[in-house]
Amino acid sequence: MSIDAILLADFVRLTKKPVRIMDFCSGNGVIPLLLSHRTSSKIMAVELQEPLIDLARRNMLINQLQHQIELVHQDINDLTVKEWGTFDIITCNPPYFPLTDQVKKHQLDTHAIARHEIYLTVDQWVKKATQLLKTKGRLYIVHRPERLDDLMESLLNHGFGIYRLRFIHPKKEKRANIVLIEAIYQGGRQGVRIEPPLVVHEEDGTYTKEMNELFYGE
């Protein structure tokens, strides 16, 4: 279970009101699984790669979540409102890295596809989110800080307002290596809230108190 997925699931704002949730780039279904502990809302998990959707299916069966979480083995670019309707919330843990010549020369395995923009670019998944989100629907993203310029440009160009940002630091004195973003579709400019930073590890390598709370509820 990746830290990125845990952080993103925790970053999502949920209420008792039922909502429709879709998870882009769902991988083995960790984010829907974590969200299911906080909401009874239906969740759709979309994943392109067959080995990962098979893992997600097993995870849902083991946790008896097949009635709450629907797995969709499909390219995000092919999703349509006609087929799936619109959503209140979309979460996305997308490929982080642009496609390079070095990646092209190597076999495009499951890991490379999940990490690099081989089949899905920032602009593609942001555009698809605009088609599937309701007005004032929320898009939650986990990504790398060095891609913030690309992310902000695409989000603003497609009608999103940036609502919240949170930076994640591996250690207190290290620069951030993860950013969490909440963007609202056609919600107007409300000003950006910068949440307090989260530090993952103490200097001795153990998890910080906040991370232990996320992992174990301590």
Distance CA 11, CA 151 (A): 18
Residues 163 and 195: beta-carbon distance below 8 Å: no
Going along the chain from its start, the domains and CATH numbers come out as 3-216 (3.40.50.150)
pLDDT tens for each residue of the chain, 218 residues long? 689 999 999 999 998 899 999 999 999 999 999 999 999 999 999 999 899 999 999 999 999 999 999 999 999 999 999 999 999 999 999 987 676 655 554 556 666 655 655 668 999 999 999 999 999 999 999 999 999 999 999 999 999 999 999 999 999 999 999 999 999 999 877 789 999 999 999 999 999 999 999 888 75
Give pTM, 2 decimals.
0.92
Residues 87 and 20: beta-carbon distance below 8 Å: yes
All residues at 6 or more sequence positions from 213 whose CB lies less than 8 Å from its CB, including other chains? none
